[in-house]
Structures are given as C-alpha cells and as structure tokens.
Structure 1
Amino acid sequence: NGFGIEEFLQFCEKTNITPSFAVNIYETAQDMADMVEYLNGDQSTEWGAKRAENGHVKPYGVKYVEIGNEEVIFNGDKKEDYKAYIERFNLLHTAMTKKDTTLKFIQAAWWRPESPNMEYVFRALNGKADYWDLHVGGDDPMAGLETDKQLAGMMQKFKSWDVNTKMQIAVFEENGSKHGIQRALGHATNLNAIRKHSEYVLTSSPANALQPYRQNDNDWDQGQIFFSPGQVWGMPPFYSQKMQAENHLPLRVESLVEGTLNVTATLSEDAKTLMLHVVNVGPELATSLNLGGFRLSGKDVNSYSIAGDLNSRNSPAHPDQFKTEHKTITIDPQNPSYIFPSNSYTILKIKQ
C-alpha cells in the first residue's frame, strides 16, 4: 500500500516489468472509468490530457487489472458473499471496459475447490474474467506438489463447467513467512508446477518482491529483495526467481523421475538447447541422466545452482553469501550423470 498506482507503473517502466494491480471492489464505477482513461487514454480524452499535463505524455498501456483481492476469504463459504462480489465485479468491469475494451481482468473470489459456490462464481463471470486468481503456499520446499494438484484440479473444473471456456489461472500470490533457502526451494518447485501447466497459467507472483529491512509489520516475512536506506540485497528466493528468468526456454518436454527429485525440462525452439530444472530436498544425490534422443554436442555443460541449509539467508553484513553459483562442468555424453547438492535448486543447460 506504500505504492501509488502511478508510482508503481513508473517503477514497472524503469524495470521492464509488465504491470498488474488490484483495485478495491468498493471503488466507484466512475472513478474506475476515469482511472482507465487516465492510464490508457490518449491526449484527446479528459483524463488522458491530465496525465500528459502531469508529465507522462504516452499512455501507460495497462493490460491487466484485478478486481479485489482474496474476496470472501474471512467469513466462510457463503453464497451471498460471493454474490455480492460478483455484483461489484460486474459494476467495475463494465465501467472500465467502456473506456478500454483491450483490458484483461482477473477475478479474486477465494478458491474453495470443494464448494458448489465455485461453479456459481465461474458461470457468473465466465466471459468477463480472463483469469481466476489462485493463491498458493511457498514455505514448504516441496510446495509445488500441492500447487500442481491445485492447478490441474482447478482447470479440470473449468472445463467441466464449460469445455470452451477461455478463463485461465493467475497465481498472483505465493505466500509464506520465510525468505531463506527453504523458500527458494519452495518457489522453485512451485515454478516447476506452473511450468507443467503453462498453457493456462498467466504467471506466478511470489510475495513480497520488496521488503524494508526490519520493518515487516504483518508476519509475512518473505521478501525477495530487502532494502535499507543505504543498501539493497537479494534473498535466496530472489536468486531462485532470477535463475529461472535468465534461463527461460519456451517449450516444455516430458520428464520422468525415479526417486525424490522435483524436475521439469524445457527446450529451445530450434531444439538445440535443453534446460533441466531440478530441486533436491535432502542430502546430496548422485543421479543418472537419460536425455533420450537429445545428444550432447560436447562434454561441457553449464550448471546454475543455489544451495545451503534450509534456514540459510543473506544479511546486510553478508549480502551475497547464498546466491547462484555458475560452473562449467564436464559430463560424459555416453553416460551422463550429475551430483545434485543437498537442499539445492539446479539448472543444467545442455547444448546439442
């Protein structure tokens, strides 16, 4: 709440991040229409002209807006509360769409998979909400196993209610109370799960991106990037996120595991680069790799890894103690194998 919307959008511009933000469901329809015109309207509009007068001539080009956050979470599974949320969603959705028909909307009704109210909400907002916001846990280093089940079950219900639906899922909060190696592994397994379902999941957004050092006031002690007046440093989950962003490949390929490793594999469009995303929760583990028809071009493979005791974290005195370690390693092309460190997230980048 320390960010104003326009400050947030300017931050996103400077950091090359696609913005999305949530609005309060009790905003007025007129205020939301004016907001959209201010953010996305050209200078010929009343509010677009005001934005230009304030120094931002070009429209912000906002694409994603969430209406509410964790709605109907606190007072139980009550249909009348879901109905009230649907009414507010429709009111604000209509007002904003009149100003910009290209907006994509995320609905924030709290997901209760066993509740009949989920179908009620789905049918009411299908065709209006582009995404349903699912919040997941991240503290468990194997959190992705539960997230995998939730994503698969959620989409199965969508399709059972409307086989032609275009509604998808956005994971706009991965929550917990940790920011050490344990959370880095939990985030990595969550992203492995989301990678498996990437054709219908917009994104994963771990809370909190930014956290002031020693000023956390709500028990969600989970910042990826910590800062003080004179210093900024990343926590292990930040490096877990950074590793994946820097080693993204667009195609997912099948991966089968014998044992306890959590694994996904991705491939470049030219089929010449393979990425193995591997989380090892437990002791050091020597592993044989069967790459199928993918043939190594040589013995050298790039390895990116973060590892440590589950409670390990960085501090102002040691801001880089736990971060990604990059090595060029040698793997036998005929019998590829690798020893995954204890409590680690590793990416192996293999060239063909």
Structure 2
Amino acid sequence: MKVFKRGMLLLSVLAALPAFAQVSVTVEANKPGAVINKNVYGQFAEHLGSGIYGGLWVGPASKIPNTRGWRNDVVGALKDLHVPLVRWPGGCFADEYHWKDGIGPRNKRPVKVNTNWGGVEESNAVGTHEFFDLVEMLGADAYVNGNLGTGSAQETSEWIEYMTSDSKSTLAEMRRKNGHPKPFKVAYFAVGNEAWGCGGNMKPEYYADLYKQYNTFMKAPREVRPKIIASGGNDHDTRWTDVLSRELKGRTDGISFHYYTLPTGNWKVKGAATGFDESQWMSTLERTLRMEKFIQDNVAILDKNDPDKKIGFYVDEWGTWYDVEKGTNAGFLFQQNTLRDAVVAAMNFNIFHGHAERVRMTNIGQMVNVLQAMIITDKDKMLLTPTYHAYKMYVPFQDATSLPVNVANDTPYTFGSSSIPGISASAARGKDGKLYVALVNTNPRQATDVTLNVTGQNVSSVQGQVLTADAMDAHNTFQQTQAVKPAPFSARAADGKLTVRVPAKAVVVVSVAG
C-alpha cells in the first residue's frame, strides 16, 4: 500500500497558485450559533462479536495489561479521544438483556446465548458495575439502553433504582454489597432500541403508549434522574419523530434516529470495505450525505411539534456498514476501516455541526472491532483506524460554538452520473477561544485550492493536521499500523489572501490565526 510520505504533507501554501476562480470558504465569526454538544462525538459499545469481550474486556486475570478487566491500551487510546459518552449494552442486544444477570460474582452469573449476534455464549462477565468502571476510567458519561422488548416496566424501574438510589432500599443495599457504595451517575437512559425492528416490530403509536408506561415508573430522585430517550425511526421514515414528539411532549429529552451508510444500499450485498473502485467511493459518499436531508426533515417536524426545542434529535447509531471480512463470523460485523471511513466520519461531523441546536448526541457504531470502529484488536495487539484519527482531529469541536460557513465557487466532485459537493466545511469557536475550521475534499483524484475568509478578521495563517493517503482504501494493519495517520498542515497568507491546498480525499482541521 502506498501512502503519502510525511514530508509531502507539510503543506505551506504561498503565492504561486493558479489564477482561476477558487473555492471560497467564508466563516461568519460574528454570528455565533448553537454550541456543538460534546456528545455529538459519543461512542457505542454493544455485546457483539469482539466489540466488548477481547476488544475492550479481557478480565482481571488476563496476561494482557488491564485495569479491573479493561484493556489498558484500548482505554488509553480512547481517553485520548476525550470520549464524552458511551452507549451500552445495545443495540438489538439491549432488548434481550436482563440486568440482574450481570451483577454479583462473575463466576455465578448465568450464561446466555446472544441470539442477535452470532449465536455465541454470553457470559454476562460485563454488567452494570463493569460498564461504569469503564466510563469512569474514560471520564465519560453513561448512556444505558433499557430492555423494552423482553423486559418489563418493573424490571426497568428496579434497574434505575439499583443504579441511582442513595436510600437504604434492598436494591440500593444490593448495589453496595456488589461493590459500589455511592449511586452510579446515569446521564441518559433509553426505553428500548429500534422498536420498529429488532426491538419488537411495533408501530410508533403502540411504542408511545409503552414508553409512557415505562417512564411513569422510573422514579429516580430528580437530582440524579437520567435524561430519558425515546427509540425513534430510521432512514427517510419521519413517522416516528412525528408521533413521538406529539405523544411524548414533556416526557422525553430526545428521540433517537439510526442511519447506516451502505455503498450499494442493498442489505444483502452491501459492498466491500477494501478493494473497492471509484464508483463505490462515490456511492458511499453520496449515500452518507443523505444524513443532511434526514436531519432536516426530522428537525422540521420537531420544530412544528416542539417549538420550544426541548426535545433533542439523537443520531445514536450511524456509520458505514460493509460486507464482513472474509473468514469471519457474519454475526460479528467485523470490517476493515479505511481512509474512506475517515472521510465519511468527517462529512457527518460537518453535517451534525450545522444542526447543533437539535442534534445534541450521536453515537457511531461502534467503538472497537465492530463496523466503523475506532480501534481494531487481535489478542494483545491493537491498532488505531483512520476513523479514530478523524475523531481525534475533531476534538476541538466538542462543546465549541458553531459558526456559519458559506462555500462559494465550489467545484463539484463528479463520477459517472453522480455529483456531490467537492468541499465539505464547518467552523466553530473552541472553548479555548480559538477559531477552528474543518475541510473535507471528497474528490479522490484531485486536490482543491480553497481561499479562506473570516468576517471581521484578517487571516494570517492556519495550522493543524491533514489526514490522507495515496489509495482510496488505504488502511492500517498489524504489519503497518502507521500507514494512515495525520500529519502537520500549515499555510500562510500572501498579499492579504490565505489559500490552502486541500489534497485529494483528505480531511483537514486547522486553527486560524489573525
């Protein structure tokens, strides 16, 4: 695999640039918008394949260095991403998960079968206490997904009490006996998952009634009560958002939404993670851009039914989904992760930033070894994926204030009969006071020159990182763990104008100096 040499990525663009109408990106720094909630960069860890067992959890007795069973190398890498939030235990797994199976001595917990993912044995070694160990190590908030499908309102009510009560109730005392004297901090709790599908094949009206029943009996003290999330729709179906935002007004903090990007759009033959041609580069990017319209349509409904904007729109499952790697268990959803995935991630970040007022959380599927993972492991080995690097480059956007961005004279990227914007961009004022700009060049063959303007401010230079490579499917392996990684990127103004050359198929994040 060929990759850019580091020296080629030390880009300082000066005056010798082509004399034609360039793409112009203007940041309206004097018009601050909504804060980009840090939870837009949330993660998802489901009991699926080696997403938890082996990838994250190895157990206290493992020879792989760990802290209370969680891998030190993986936890350390995730901490570098400033992971704000982790969703657990599913996914489809959540609606068959009974929380009492996952407490008490691990050697006495019941062994079940994971009927959703691979039909493998589920030891229940990772349960409530282990999960909160993980999020506490990460410094993240906990998003617990409750069991609506095979559970009950009583079971959910008791789990909430077990996690949050500081009383002397039997359940609170049971938590103390199991090793956690103080209540757990549960930031979010979802009532079921994908109720339209694996969570019960329900209609939204029926789910809304069940939600109200469950919600009625979640009696955590007000000061520690989690924000409650309703399980919403997917793709272009807005009925769930419409029904739930009307029926659950005042009872829910957010409505979830799921959308995965498939190169082919065909769930039976999704497309390969590597070895693809430019037609599938284009189809993947074209399909991921549908996220914009999905969000717009759902937000329009929320604005009608919830004009006070109390209900958030939570994209709590998203990412790329390809055919599994050959020779792996089809139920484990393991796929390689390439530069294309990093570009997809960055394009979605830019979309989410543009809807920061309503999109207050997203959770990519998934954190380790599953679908569009941050990290891939093999026994004691670990590597960081291109998607991991995209997340790390965008860390300054967590809790930053979004700023309007106008792109003019854009040169569309065209392949065959398909055409998409050539440049995707977003900007924000970070918590550190700096102005950050993100640029994505969707064209895999051609660099693009971009003139950067900031209203009310002279731009003297930019400095940050770029992520790119020679091949569309460039990826890291255990033989070449550093094949795709960010490199320094900088540019200086010439004659009062700052122009940056964004390489083909690249993600660039820079801070702007006046």
TM-score, with structure 2 as normaliser = 0.61
2:171 is aligned with 1:27: no
Partner secondary structure for residue 69 of structure 1 = coil
SS in 1 for 2:217: helix
What CA deviation, in whole Å up to 9, does each residue of 1:217-242 have, x standing for no partner? xxx63222111221121111111111
Structure 1 residue 249: Cα displacement: 6.0
Q: What secondary structure sits across from 2:256 in the alignment?
A: strand
Aligned partners of 2:399, 2:214: CA distance in 1, in Å?
A: 37
Instruction: Say whether 1:175 aligns with 2:305.
Output: no
Q: How is 1:194-273 mapped onto 2 (pairs within 5 angstroms)?
A: 194-211=352-369, 221-246=371-396, 248=398, 250-258=400-408, 259=410, 260-268=422-430, 273=434
Return closer, same or farther for 1:75/1:329 CA change in 2, 3 Å cut-off.
Answer: closer
Q: 1:189 to 1:115 in 2, by over 3 A?
A: closer
Q: Please identify, of 48-57 and 61-70, the stretch whose mean Cα deviation from structure 2 is larger.
A: 48-57
- Measured after TM superposition, the shift of residue 250 of structure 1 is 1.6
Cα 1:183–1:109 shift into 2, 3 Å: same
Residue identity over aligned pairs, in percent, reads 19
Give the aligned partner of residue 464 of structure 2: 303
Alignment of 1:1-352 (within 5 A): 1=47, 3-25=126-148, 26-42=150-166, 44-73=168-197, 81-96=203-218, 98-101=219-222, 102-111=225-234, 118-138=241-261, 140-141=284-285, 145-177=289-321, 179-211=337-369, 221-246=371-396, 248=398, 250-258=400-408, 259=410, 260-268=422-430, 273-282=434-443, 283-296=446-459, 298-299=460-461, 301-308=462-469, 309-332=471-494, 334-352=496-514
Q: Is the 8 Å Cα contact of residues 241 and 298 (structure 2) preserved in structure 1?
A: no
Change (3 A) 1:293 1:269: farther
Tell me the secondary structure at the aligned position of residue 70 of structure 1: coil
What's the CA shift for 1:328?
A: 4.4
Distance 1:95 1:226 in 2: 40
How far apart are the structure 2 equivalents of 1:240 and 1:186? 10
Note closer, same or farther for the CA distance 1:246–1:323 as it changes in structure 2 (3 Å cut). farther
My pick for the range that moved more, 331-340 or 8-17, is 331-340
SS for the counterpart of 2:372 is coil
Does the Cα contact within 8 Å between 1:303 and 1:348 map onto a contact in 2? Answer: yes
Stretch deviating more after TM superposition (179-188 or 28-37): 28-37
* Higher RCO (CA-CA < 8 Å; seq separation 6+): 2
Tell whether the 8 Å contact from 1:43 to 1:52 is kept in structure 2 after alignment. no
Aligned pairs, number = 338
Deviations 1:132-163 (A, max 9, x none): 11112346335553222222221111122342
Secondary structure of the 1:62 match is coil
The structure-2 alpha-carbon separation of the partners of 1:263 and 1:48, relative to structure 1 and needing over 3 Å to count, comes to same
Q: TM-score, normalising length from structure 1?
A: 0.87
Query: Residues 193-233 of structure 1: CA distance to partner in whole angstroms, max 9, x if unpaired?
Result: 1111112112221111111xxxxxxxx63222111221121
Structure 1, gaps ≥5 residues long = 212-219
SS of 1:302's equivalent in the other structure is strand
Cα distance change, pair 95–277 in 1 and its aligned pair in 2 (3 A) = same
| Aligned-partner SS, 2:168 | coil
How big is the shift at 1:344? 0.6
| Counterpart code for 2:374 | Q
CA RMSD of aligned residues (A): 2.5
**Which is worse superposed, 279-288 or 1-10?**
1-10
Distance 1:112 1:340 in 2: 31
Deviations 1:71-104 (A, max 9, x none): 113799x9x63233223222221221x1344321
d(CA) in 2 for partners of 1:221 and 1:117?
Answer: 25
